[in-house]
Structure 1
Amino acid sequence: MVGHGTLHAYVVGASGRPATEAERGRMAALVTEAVKAGACGVSSGLEYLPGAFADLDELAAVAAPLKGTGLPYATHLRNEDDQSLAALEEALNVGRKSGAAVHISHLKAQGERNWWKAPLMLELSERARAGGLDVTYDCYPYVAYATGLSNMFPVWAREGGTDAFLARLQDPAQGERIKAQVWDKVNQLGTWDAVQISNTGSDSLAWARGKRLGQLAAERQQDPYALLLMLVEEDRNRSGMVGFGMSEEDVGRFLAHPLGMICSDGSALTTDGPLARGTPHPRNYGTFPRVLGLYCRDRKLMSLETAIHKMTGMPAARLKLAGRGTITPRAFADFVAFDPGRVADRATFEQPHQYPVGIPHVMVNGQWVIRDGEHTQAQPGRVLTP
């Protein structure tokens, strides 16, 4: 996809403002060029910088070249907790104003005080769909999300890059305001133990990996906010976190809804080597077998057929990937052979680097990449374009 943040940085620069009319035109022209070159849509991350600087006009301008293509404007909402309903409405308005299809990335209602919003988020999406807007979303089967540790801090505090962010943390005039907003974030999650350090850039901070902030603070007899500041400052804003903020009921609700697809929101990791560092979110290893085992077989949330469609044919159709996601004549031979009675995830939040069980064979583009549970060393992958 064409990243809106990349477009904004390239055209607008680091000025910390929305694009002007002329800049919006340049950004739209770049999107048009990228779509012709094979991009499968436009993505935005409005909770992060520089995406947070964009306004509705800017977002609609970059999405407008997608009108009539069926390719989506896919967005990480501006807010996924206290302002999540307004953030969802903003995303839908981008579609209404631009004419583009809209896809909401990893839809969620984050923080116990916001769980009541989950049915309303689905209702807003259904109403938009009934009104003619092509809208879908994806979600993952966990009650926790993953992001940078700096996401505990307000967007305004992070403006200007790492040096500016760290300087604000040391500025008494701004420090108390930042602290109050961080505490509000913690109260929304419920406790400091809702924040787990997933990774650190510096190995000197490896002692924090896999630990909850509340747990660490107690072990070190340290104020949890002071500990958070120390980690951000000593690691120069490179630490990651897992945040436990969603309800199990809502996870099931989002997974089962007809507008929802299943995603991992994860990365390609391995159980050894440099990609085995830290304690990342278990979704990187367990998302799809977790749905097949826990939510389909054990909890009977949906049929296997429905779940598989949400993982394959539905997302392939959303991205206009011809010949993918279906078993049909002349389609690409991509297959996952699994045992429906045995398939299960093994990755946990404490021990995430574990492969699932019950998946003996995987074929990609007609070549076996996993055979009898072992990697064949084949690398038949291809770049996917509409």
Structure 2
Amino acid sequence: MDRRRFLRAAGAALGPALLVPGAAASAFGGQTTRRGAADLLLRGALVYDGTGAPPVEADVRVSGDRIVEVGPRLAERGAEVVDLRGLALAPGFIDIHAHTDLVLLVNPRADSKVRQGVTTEVTGQDGGSVGPVTEEEFERRRESYRRRYGVDLDFRDLGGFFLQLQAQGTAVNLASMVGAGTIRAYVVGQDDRPATPEELARMVALVEEALRQGACGLSSGLEYTPGAFADRNELVALARALRGTGLPYATHMRNEDDELFAAVEEAIAVGRQAGVPVQISHLKAQGQRNWWKGQPVLDLIESARAAGTDVMFDRYPYVAYSTSLSNLFPVWTRDGGNAAFIARLQDPALQPRIEAAVREKVEDELGSWDAVQVTSVGDAFAWARGRRLGELARERGEEPYALLLRIMIEGGGGGMVGFGMSEENTARFLAHPLGMICSDGGAQARPAEEMEGSVHPRNYGTFPRVLGHYCREQKLMPLETAIHKMTGMPAARLRLEGRGRIAPGAFADLVAFDPNTVADRATFERPHQYPVGIPHVLVNGVFVIRDGEHTGAKPGRVLRPGGRLAG
């Protein structure tokens, strides 16, 4: 597999198994800075400061990596003047739930994200972070990356990853959570059993170590293995390591469909018992029979906040999710790792039970096999990439479940997009005061004709879709509200000081866009399409996108909460 295939596969955001396998924040410096260069004077933009306040027409002066002055008709004083009349200027967008992780070592340009205006990626999500990993896993992963991508990995934990990313450079800033699933795999393995007291103590120590290295929170992925095997007591014990930091426990909950209420109650209970904030990842009510739960689940979250638990959430602006095809199968089938999973799929005694569970999920919950679109998959099944399972089965004269089994057993599985949410709930969650905007996706690269297969369009279109479709066209919320959800809110949630604001002293992470034309172009059929209407993006005072073109600059930094040096 070459770099292009990696970018296609990684951006499918298949959860922890893919990449693990998930206000001035001080940080590692990138390779490109503006020290010694003339100041920039960004002239005449409609400035949205990230607080949710209405915009004002103003100039913004940038010196080095900082904003030093904001006001009308600022004097040039030798600055390079950039005319932004007719454009909006906002803080760079912070993707509070992203899956770029190791992608930045393969594609440090982060093309599909910076072209959306994203200047900070928050990774280590869904229980999966790049470390810690065992020596065996480190050697396996290092050899794989050397062979496939020509990248030499040289780290076993988050601190080491931060150092390697610093040395290489990247177009975007990065902050990372530490994954509870990754830590469980490191200490307990892939088995479905409780951690022993000794193992749990070791896991807590690893969370504490990751926080010292610069992690911005703890994530869990309770529909993915081995994270799904953690009970509430384990989650509370790990989350308690966050107490006193102000950082959140972010959770891909145990269920997002039939047992949604119970899953939300569990997430709230973990936060309450641990004494830490809770961030519910990509909140959804999945499956048509569960769409009625949209408002009640918000009521549940609001009640928890009223009772004293700090609960918030994030959501992407699409009615389809992206995950691994293996997630269509019951959690118990995945106990013990992939080899055990494949063996169970071929066990005649288990096949009726497994098939019934998968059919119930696809045919009853999602509605049909056409609601499942294959994304990343092995070359033997390249013909399935970007296609709906139901459609493929009809064309090939196969039964859909049998085709899925072949992809899993013969092709090694792959990624999928599932069309399972309602537009009404999507809008409801996006607009709610406790909700932030996320992509749940990773960085990609074009041109499309060089890409193989398919990804979720959120990798290319999330933030411009909110600004264009939901704000301008649907009038769902004012631009200043949407921008606050993309900037000031996530910066405050993760204690990324100096980010998410346009104000003197803040870091110069900035995006200039045309509010009349900004729009996503990526679709489920043609996802590898960059957005339009975003001519300029600066990261730490350096143009990464200028006049619509990527400059190749790599001024990004690794961000640590609270302004301390990461690593």
TM category, shorter:
over 0.9
- Cα displacement (A) at 1:273: 8.6
CA contact (8 A) 1:269 1:276 kept: no
Aligned counterpart in structure 2 of residue 353 of structure 1, from 528, 540, 557: 528
Match of 1:380 in 2: 555
Measure how far apart 1:13 and its partner are.
Answer: 2.2
| Counterpart pick for 2:252 among 76, 91, 95 | 76
Distance 2:518 2:204 in 1: 45
Q: State the shift of 1:21 in Å.
A: 2.7
2:193 alignment counterpart: 17
Q: Are positions 1:159 and 2:335 aligned together?
A: yes
Q: Secondary structure at the match of 2:354?
A: helix
The residue identity in structure 2 corresponding to 1:127 is: S
Larger Rg: 2
Determine if contact 1:162/1:236 at 8 Å carries over to the other structure.
no
Give 3-state SS (helix, strand or coil) of 1:196's partner: strand
Mapped contact 2:191–2:337 kept (Cα < 8 A): no
Deviations 1:171-218 (A, max 9, x none): 111000000000100110001000000111x22211101110110011
The match for 1:191 among 345, 368, 388 is 368
Cα contact 1:149–1:240 (8 A) shared by 2 = yes
- Residues 128-183 of structure 1 deviation map (CA, whole Å, 9 limit, x = unaligned): 11111111100000000000111111111122222211111111110000000001
What's the offset of the Cα at 1:274? 11
1:66 maps to which residue? 242
Counterpart Cα distance in 1 of 2:447 and 2:337: 32
Alignment of 1:271 with 2:271, yes or no, is no
2-side partners of 1:162 and 1:23: how far apart?
A: 23
Distance 1:293 1:164 in 2: 46
Q: Secondary structure at the match of 1:74?
A: strand
Pairing of 1:187-266 with structure 2 (within 5 A)? 187-200=364-377, 202-237=378-413, 239-266=414-441
Give the C-alpha shift of residue 23 in structure 1. Answer: 2.2
SS in 1 for 2:349: helix
Alignment of 1:300-319 (within 5 A): 300-319=475-494
CA distance in 2, matches of 1:369, 1:14: 41
In structure 2, the gaps of 5 or more residues are 1-176, 562-567
What SS does the aligned partner of 1:343 have?
coil
**Structure 2 CA distance for aligned equivalents of residues 221 and 351 of structure 1:** 26
Give, as a single letter, the amino acid of the residue that structure 2 aligns with 1:365: N
Distance 1:312 1:105 in 2: 17
Question: Do the aligned partners of 1:369 and 1:376 also contact (CA within 8 Å) in 2?
Answer: yes
Do structure 1's residue 368 and structure 2's residue 543 form an aligned pair?
Answer: yes
Identity %: 68
One-letter amino acid of the structure 1 residue matched with residue 432 of structure 2: H
TM-score by length of 2: 0.67
* TM alignment of 1:299-338, pairs within 5 A: 299-338=474-513
Equivalent residue, structure 2, for 1:139: 315
User: What SS does the aligned partner of 2:285 have?
Assistant: coil
By how many angstroms is 1:358 displaced? Answer: 0.4
Q: Secondary structure at the match of 1:172?
A: coil
**Contact 2:284 2:294 (C-alpha < 8 Å) held by counterparts:** yes
Q: Distance in 2 between matches of 1:133 and 1:275?
A: 48
Superposed counterparts of 1:40-119, under 5 Å: 40-119=216-295
Letter in 1 for 2:365: Q
Does the residue aligned with 1:265 lie in a helix, a strand or coil? coil
The match for 2:355 among 173, 176, 179 is: 179
Structure 1 segments unaligned to the other structure (5+ residues): none
Residue 362 of structure 1 contacts residue 371 of structure 1 at CA under 8 Å; is this kept in 2?
A: yes
Which residue in the other structure is 1:4 paired with?
Answer: 180
Q: How far apart, in 2, do the equivalents of 1:113 and 1:261 lie?
A: 25
Task: With a CA cutoff of 8 Å and minimum separation of 6, indicate the structure with the bigger relative contact order.
Answer: 2
Amino acid at match of 1:349: F
CA distance in 2, matches of 1:268, 1:211: 22
**Secondary structure class of the residue paired with 1:147:** strand
Q: Aligned-pair RMSD on alpha carbons?
A: 1.2
- Give, as a single letter, the amino acid of the residue that structure 2 aligns with 1:313: G
SS at match of 2:350: helix
Shift of 1:278: 1.4
Distance 2:545 2:186 in 1: 41
Partner AA of 2:306 in structure 1? A
Which secondary structure does the structure 1 equivalent of 2:401 belong to? helix
Amino acid at match of 1:377: G
